[in-house]
């Protein structure tokens, strides 16, 4: 049907296409051939360059189909936190599909659009990184040619134009084309897209119009939002073999998907996942530029096109002449035909250089998080291929390829590659040099680990590298898991990736639990591989921890057994003890000793600080698999590996009572609030203690007072604290035992009791009498007697989450000071209450009330007292407010009287306007009422009034207003006078023609005077004969 229509005007169409594309621009060759009444524009493979294919696509949609060209968005989608990188052409139009585009945005006016979009798929849901280089069509960076309709045309036009462009313009063989359509989905209640099928049947036989599954032919933006059926054009790049429908969507490299046409007409609900129709139907198409160019050039590989060949040549030129890769160059080999992975390396490096340069030019930077970490992985993969596979010696190698890209066709299409070239080279150079410092060490470790697996050549199953070793490479040597996987695969070894993920999860859990003030501990985290290396590789025994047992703060003759440092990427790796001892001033290290008096953070208690030797300042202490890691900085080299350890005893002495009183508090909470109270977390440092617990509501002041009193009774009761290691099963037999739900305890476990002996408890562990005492599992440091805590005060009770409350408290000197502060605040509240009843100075009293309320909120004082004081202040405030209301009324009456008197005088003197200073505190409502009074008595008068800030509020701005009646002889409207007066003083305001109001910041007497003077000067100038 369509062919008959086209035959009718084939000559006319030929003329239009030639005029549209222009034979002098190089877009299309001048030879036009007619075949079966269809205009076909043929080009030799050499003529279809990347720039030409791109320009032809855009020009077709812009000029022939009236699409607006929208520039490619950056690959760094800073406005869309859901994306690591721009991974499709539709990303920047997402707001249109979601219906959230701002009306003032240029996107709101778009009906049709087209462009070439820079895309990166190297992280997140769309991730091609691990496939790049291994085949001939995957890329991390590529260009997506796209066309869009936003509520304009739909399937008919999209399919017709796709066929016209591919066959009539690009000249692809229609006999090698296949089209797919959505075959429906019964579970979703979606019928097959027979409309798309019928449209394709205008151009193709039914044997080459194929139904597709939901996976292949139903596009969704995400778990919810706009979605719809899609239809794809596939092309048999080999041809001359009959029809091969079985190879469509079969991941066959010779039958390629070229163009995806998405018909967006549904919206998936985020709440129930159901589909509903969108108010408008959209079209979103995507066509890979590199893939299309390869087909047009008659190449079987995207990498054989002019997008990559210049980079291959540059790579080869930079290699040493004696390496095989230089001698062979790029030959396009894949799989077993590329045994040395030379061509794999060429492809990976060329692709990765494109990705890195584009991303950095658009603002991304390599780092340890998010998209920055993705870029770091890409770079390190490229570096490894260049050094280990191709034999590159030049440093930097990857960075040296950036100018080739910038000065080539890609830099012409995206000028940012040229303008940002210096920055690109600088960043790549720094990253490459940093990685090279650890690459050789990592490869050596990996090769040694593989050798340990033994000879597996005659074994049925391949050897498997343990996940712990893969994680060590990742965690300590900067090897991404995909890099380890590749190297291992080249040596015929698999990787235990489940074990790797387990090790990763363990590290994440430890990192979240580490809350060191030093800013060091969060970076010094021993991995499972590192602790295993200490135990198995070096035979280093776990650390003997002296702090919980003896409470000592000083030991001598301690031996440093192992040391760790950070590389330039802030990644932890082991160094020799000798190297660590000779470190320079300020160097950050982690030391493992044979024994230590330092308490490692745990059980809610912060780590000790202090000094090892005379020059290693300990700022954090953590434990990993029994090894205590002392993290800190050198102030000078250590003289020996045999050292003394000095804990900051004064700081420890403040931490210990806070920890012991946490136990007492836990005990008191159960007594007052009931057995439903369960510990949900704690923190004990040298300033305070913090205790989180389960409770459905806020603890009221009376309950807080009872809890505090119970703990204070424990302090005064002079109870001995007993601690003992007990088999875990035996400890759990104690019915009165308090433990943290979900906590993994050691076996044996340390039991701490206040006021009773643990041996006696174990003799009758189920006895009811033990519920009268605090008995807990704990490995922290504690008092010997509760009286050493001296005092206890709860200072805060707040919500952490639904059903979780938090109490903060202090002990010793801090508690005593809190009690004194409470007494002082109570006395100040009493004084204020008395003055409110007897003193008429409402302004002073209001300031006193405000100050005292802020002092109570910010104070470290008994939490049970604060609500009582706030209630007393609220009552005093009500009395004060009632008095202020009367005073405000007096001010308003005074202001009205002054304004009326001034108006009478102005009228008597024959003036048409006047300026006056009114009492402080007039608000907008009072000003409007006053204006109405003056206008009623003197309708022809204009006036400008100024009032100082309201003394009863926090507002410190001078208020002013202007009133100008209609047809006034001096001022056209109120705004004219107001704005002229405010401008010199940086004031702001506005209003209606007859009444406008404004304000001036930084109120003081001089500013008020300046405003009055300015307003009067404006009036005088307007009244002078010259102004008329």
Q: Does pLDDT of 44 surpass 70?
A: no
Mean pLDDT of 711-734: 94
Closest by Cα among 181, 189, 237, 236 to 209 = 181
Residue 537: φ, ψ to 5°: -80, -45
Percent of residues, the chain, with pLDDT higher than 70: 89
Closest by Cα among 123, 107, 127 to 115 = 107
Q: Which of 94-108, 878-892, 1014-1028 has the lowest mean pLDDT?
A: 94-108
What is the per-residue pLDDT across 241-288, written as a single tens digit (0 to 9) for each? 889 999 999 988 889 999 999 999 988 876 678 888 887 899 999 999
* Burial class of residue 373 (count of CB atoms within 10 Å of its CB; 0-12, 13-18, 19+): middle
Closest by Cα among 237, 238, 260 to 179 = 260
pLDDT value of residue 272 = 72
Q: Nearest 5 degrees, angle CA 974-CA 978-CA 980?
A: 120
Mean pLDDT of 446-466: 75
> Other CB atoms closer than 10 Å to residue 597's CB: what's the count?
23
More confident residue, 98 or 72: 72
pLDDT value of residue 23 = 29
% helix, strand, coil for the chain, step of 5:
45, 20, 35
Residue 834: φ, ψ to 5°: -70, -40
Confidence of residue 1026 (pLDDT cuts 50, 70, 90): low
pLDDT value of residue 517 = 40
Long-range pairs of 575-583 with CB within 8 A, sequence gap ≥ 24: 577/641, 578/641, 580/638, 581/637, 581/638, 581/639, 581/640, 581/641, 582/637, 583/634, 583/637
Cα–Cα dist 426/644, whole Å: 45
Q: Enter the tokens of residue 357.
A: 């340069």
pLDDT value of residue 431 = 87
Cα–Cα dist 775/732, whole Å: 11
The 3 state secondary structure assigned to 369-387 is CHHHHHHHHHHHHHHHHHH
pLDDT value of residue 80 = 67
pLDDT value of residue 406 = 96
Mean pLDDT of 443-465: 75
Length of the chain: 1028
pLDDT value of residue 207 = 96
Closest by Cα among 82, 126, 131 to 286 = 126
Q: Does pLDDT of 802 surpass 90?
A: no
pLDDT value of residue 578 = 92
- What DSSP state is assigned to residue 72? P
Closest by Cα among 355, 454, 434 to 129 = 355
Q: Does pLDDT of 16 surpass 50?
A: no
pLDDT value of residue 509 = 65
More confident residue, 699 or 1024: 699
pLDDT value of residue 459 = 53
pLDDT value of residue 364 = 83
Contacts of 934 (CB under 8 A, 6+ apart): 899, 900, 903, 941, 943, 963
Percent of residues, the chain, with pLDDT higher than 90: 58
Q: Does pLDDT of 642 surpass 80?
A: yes
Cα–Cα dist 981/600, whole Å: 67
Q: Which of 591-600, 798-807, 911-920 has the lowest mean pLDDT?
A: 798-807
Determine the distance from the C-alpha atom of residue 497 to the mean position of all C-alpha atoms in its chain, rounded to a whole number: 26
Cα–Cα dist 892/793, whole Å: 49
Long-range pairs of 276-283 with CB within 8 A, sequence gap ≥ 24: 278/226, 280/150, 280/151, 281/151, 281/154, 282/96, 282/97, 282/148, 282/149, 282/150, 282/151, 282/226, 282/228, 283/147, 283/148, 283/149, 283/153, 283/154, 283/155, 283/157, 283/158
What is the per-residue pLDDT across 963-1009, written as a single tens digit (0 to 9) for each? 999 999 999 999 999 999 999 999 999 999 999 999 998 778 899 99
- Residue carrying structure tokens 């459905």: 696
CB–CB of 170/306 below 8 Å?
Answer: no
pTM over 0.75: no
Q: Does pLDDT of 440 surpass 80?
A: no
Mean pLDDT of 876-900: 85
pLDDT value of residue 955 = 75
Q: Enter the tokens of residue 399.
A: 């960075």
Q: Does pLDDT of 557 surpass 60?
A: yes
* Burial class of residue 495 (count of CB atoms within 10 Å of its CB; 0-12, 13-18, 19+): buried
Confidence of residue 201 (pLDDT cuts 50, 70, 90): very high
Closest by Cα among 435, 393, 351, 426 to 131 = 351
Closest by Cα among 328, 276, 341, 330 to 308 = 330
Contacts of 454 (CB under 8 A, 6+ apart): 463
Cα–Cα dist 393/404, whole Å: 18
What is the per-residue pLDDT across 603-612, written as a single tens digit (0 to 9) for each? 899 999 999 9
CB–CB of 380/483 below 8 Å?
Answer: yes
What is the per-residue pLDDT across 137-160, written as a single tens digit (0 to 9) for each? 889 999 999 999 999 999 999 999
Q: Does pLDDT of 956 surpass 90?
A: no
Cα–Cα dist 221/99, whole Å: 13
Mean pLDDT of 587-594: 94
Cα–Cα dist 672/651, whole Å: 32
CA atoms within 13 A on the CB side of 959: 20
* Angle of helix 974-982 versus helix 1005-1023 axis, rounded to 10: 130
pLDDT value of residue 726 = 92
Closest by Cα among 382, 392, 389, 388 to 428 = 382
Cα–Cα dist 403/426, whole Å: 12
Q: Does pLDDT of 422 surpass 50?
A: yes
Q: Enter the tokens of residue 820.
A: 């004194």
> Other CB atoms closer than 10 Å to residue 574's CB: what's the count?
21
Q: Enter the tokens of residue 311.
A: 């980079």
Long-range pairs of 531-537 with CB within 8 A, sequence gap ≥ 24: 531/624, 531/625, 531/626, 531/627, 532/468, 532/625, 533/472, 533/574, 534/562, 534/592, 534/627, 535/625
- Residue carrying structure tokens 């921890």: 545
Three-state DSSP class for residue 368: coil
Mean pLDDT of 525-549: 78
Confidence of residue 18 (pLDDT cuts 50, 70, 90): very low
Closest by Cα among 455, 351, 344 to 143 = 351
> Other CB atoms closer than 10 Å to residue 672's CB: what's the count?
17
E strands along 610-730, which residues? 610-612, 616-624, 627-634, 642-647, 679-684, 689-694, 721-726
- Which DSSP string do the residues of 760-823 spell out, in sequence order? HHHHSTT-GGGGGSEEEE--S---SBGGGG--EEEEEEEEEETTEEEEEEEEHHHHHHHHHHHH
């Amino acid at each position: 049907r369509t062919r008959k229509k086209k035959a009718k005007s084939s000559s006319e169409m030929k003329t239009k296409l030639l005029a549209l594309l222009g034979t002098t621009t190089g877009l299309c060759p001048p030879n036009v051939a007619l075949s079966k009444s269809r205009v076909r524009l043929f080009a030799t493979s050499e003529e279809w360059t990347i720039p030409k294919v791109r320009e032809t696509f855009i020009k077709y949609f812009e000029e022939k189909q009236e699409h607006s060209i929208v520039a490619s968005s950056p690959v760094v989608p800073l406005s869309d936190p859901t994306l690591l990188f721009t991974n499709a052409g539709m990303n920047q139009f997402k707001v249109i599909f979601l219906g959230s585009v701002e009306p003032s945005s240029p996107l709101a006016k778009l009906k049709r659009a087209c462009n070439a979009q820079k895309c990166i798929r190297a992280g997140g849901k769309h991730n091609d990184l691990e496939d790049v280089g291994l085949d001939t069509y995957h890329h991390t960076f590529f260009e997506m040619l796209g066309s869009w309709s936003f509520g304009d045309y739909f399937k008919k036009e999209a399919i017709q134009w796709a066929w016209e462009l591919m066959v009539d313009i690009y000249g692809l063989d229609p006999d090698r084309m296949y089209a797919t359509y959505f075959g429906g989905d019964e579970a979703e209640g979606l019928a097959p897209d027979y409309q798309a099928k019928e449209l394709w049947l205008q151009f193709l036989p039914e044997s080459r119009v194929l139904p597709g599954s939901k996976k292949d032919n139903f596009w969704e933006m995400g778990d919810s939002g706009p979605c719809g059926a899609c239809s794809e054009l596939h092309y048999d790049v080999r041809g001359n073999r009959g029809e091969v429908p079985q190879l469509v969507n079969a991941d066959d490299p010779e039958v390629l998907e070229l163009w995806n046409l998405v018909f967006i007409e549904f919206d998936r609900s985020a709440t129930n996942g159901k589909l509903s129709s969108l108010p408008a139907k959209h079209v979103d198409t995507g066509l890979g530029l590199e893939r299309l160019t390869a087909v047009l050039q008659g190449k079987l590989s995207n990498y054989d096109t002019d997008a990559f060949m210049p980079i291959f040549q540059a790579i080869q030129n930079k290699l040493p002449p004696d390496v095989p890769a230089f001698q062979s160059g790029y030959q396009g080999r894949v799989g077993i035909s590329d045994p040395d992975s030379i061509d794999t390396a060429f492809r990976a490096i060329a692709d990765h250089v494109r990705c890195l340069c584009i991303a950095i030019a658009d603002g991304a930077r390599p780092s340890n998080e998010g998209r920055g970490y993705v870029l770091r992985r890409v770079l390190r993969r490229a570096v490894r291929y260049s050094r280990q596979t191709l034999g590159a010696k030049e440093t930097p190698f990857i960075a040296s390829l950036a100018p080739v890209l910038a000065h080539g066709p890609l830099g012409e299409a995206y000028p940012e590659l040229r303008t940002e070239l210096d920055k690109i080279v600088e960043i790549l150079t720094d990253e490459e040099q940093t990685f090279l410092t650890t690459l050789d060490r990592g490869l050596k470790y990996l090769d040694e680990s593989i050798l340990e697996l033994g000879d597996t050549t005659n074994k049925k199953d391949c050897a498997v590298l343990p996940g712990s070793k893969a994680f060590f490479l990742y965690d300590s040597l900067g090897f991404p898991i995909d890099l380890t996987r590749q190297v291992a695969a080249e040596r015929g070894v698999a990787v235990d990736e489940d074990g790797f993920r387990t090790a990763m999860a363990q590290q994440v859990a430890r990192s979240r639990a580490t809350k060191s003030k030093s800013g060091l501990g969060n970076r010094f985290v021993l991995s499972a591989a590192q602790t295993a290396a200490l135990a198995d590789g070096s035979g280093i025994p776990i650390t003997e921890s002296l702090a919980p047992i003896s409470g000592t703060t000083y030991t001598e003759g301690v031996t440093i057994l192992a040391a760790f440092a950070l590389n330039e990427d802030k990644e932890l790796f082991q160094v020799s003890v000798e190297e660590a001892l000779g470190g320079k001033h300020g160097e950050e290290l982690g030391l493992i000793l044979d024994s230590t008096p330092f308490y490692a953070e745990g059980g809610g208690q912060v780590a000790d600080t202090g000094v090892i030797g005379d020059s290693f300042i300990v700022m954090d202490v953590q434990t990993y698999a029994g090894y205590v890691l002392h993290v800190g900085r050198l102030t000078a080299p250590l003289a020996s590996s045999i050292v003394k350890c000095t804990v900051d005893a004064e700081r420890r002495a403040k931490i210990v009572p806070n920890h012991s009183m946490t136990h007492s508090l836990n005990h008191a909470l159960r007594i007052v609030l009931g057995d439903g109270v369960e510990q949900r977390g704690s923190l004990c440092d040298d300033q305070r203690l913090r205790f989180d617990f389960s409770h459905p509501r806020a603890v009221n002041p009376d309950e807080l007072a009872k809890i505090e009193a119970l703990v204070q009774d424990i302090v005064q009761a002079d109870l001995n604290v007993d601690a003992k290691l007990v088999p875990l099963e035996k400890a759990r037999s104690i019915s009165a035992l308090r433990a943290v739900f979900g906590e993994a305890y050691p076996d044996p476990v340390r039991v701490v009791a206040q006021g009773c002996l643990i041996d006696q408890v174990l003799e009758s562990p189920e006895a009811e009498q033990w519920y009268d005492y605090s008995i807990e599992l704990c490995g922290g440091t504690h008092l010997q007697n509760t009286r050493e805590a001296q005092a206890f005060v709860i200072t805060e009770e707040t919500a952490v989450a639904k059903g979780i409350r938090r109490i903060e408290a202090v002990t010793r000197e801090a508690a005593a000071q809190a009690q004194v502060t409470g007494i002082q605040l109570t006395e100040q509240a009493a004084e204020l209450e008395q003055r409110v009843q007897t003193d008429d100075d409402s302004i002073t009293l209001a300031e006193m009330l405000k100050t005292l309320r802020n002092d109570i909120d910010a104070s470290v004082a008994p939490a049970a007292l604060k609500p009582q004081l706030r209630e007393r202040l609220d009552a005093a405030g009500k009395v004060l407010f009632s008095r202020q209301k009367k005073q405000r009324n007096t001010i308003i009456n005074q202001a009205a009287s002054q304004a009326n008197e001034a108006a009478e005088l102005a009228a008597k003197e024959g003036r048409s306007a006047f300026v006056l200073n009114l009492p402080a505190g007039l608000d907008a409502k009072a000003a409007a009422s006053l204006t109405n009074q003056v206008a009623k008595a003197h309708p022809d008068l204009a006036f400008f009034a100024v009032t100082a800030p309201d003394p009863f509020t926090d507002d410190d701005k001078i208020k002013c207003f202007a009133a100008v009646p209609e047809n006034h002889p001096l001022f056209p409207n109120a705004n004219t006078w107001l704005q002229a007066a405010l401008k010199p003083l940086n004031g702001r305001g506005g209003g209606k023609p007859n009444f406008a109001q404004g304000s001036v910041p930084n109120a003081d007497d001089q500013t008020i005077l300046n405003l009055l003077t300015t307003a009067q000067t404006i009036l005088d100038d307007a009244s002078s004969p010259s102004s008329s």
